[in-house]
Structure 1
Amino acid sequence: MAYRYRCGECGFTTRWTTESDAEDVSIAHYADRHPGLVPGGSVEINKKNPHSPGCLPMLGIAFLLLLIFASCRR
């Protein structure tokens, strides 16, 4: 998954990256631009991440299991 942090003070956003990298950039931003404030803001999750298969594989596995169970009951 890809994550992005938004600064709660000025609207700064990190690039889409791993959660830990985005958090590190956010903390560095707060230390540089907003010294003395506790890092805040919000986290966004990239829902259009091309590397995320979503729930389709799980639905396929469930369908195959149902097919196997149905064929074994005869």
Structure 2
Amino acid sequence: MEEFTQQAGPFTDAQQWWIEKIADATAATETDFAPKLLEGFPFSARGGTFGFLHDFGREAAINLLDELRRALA
């Protein structure tokens, strides 16, 4: 995970929070991260999908989820 953030960063603190929580959620489920999980805890505390899109921007958010899925698979 650290290798991914070094290659793709730098990220803001808010963006880093999302990346770390997505990695945690992926590790806990041992499956790919499904975007619908952004509506559950802990993501809902930061606005869920809308918060994620706000912190990254729509295109970057979609690209990031694709990259994270590949990196964490």
Is this a same-fold pair by TM over 0.5?
no
User: Please, what TM-score do these two structures have when normalized by structure 1?
Assistant: 0.30
State which structure, 1 or 2, has the greater radius of gyration over its C-alpha atoms. Answer: 1
Q: Which has the higher strand share?
A: 1
User: Please, what TM-score do these two structures have when normalized by structure 2?
Assistant: 0.30
Q: Which has the higher helix share?
A: 2
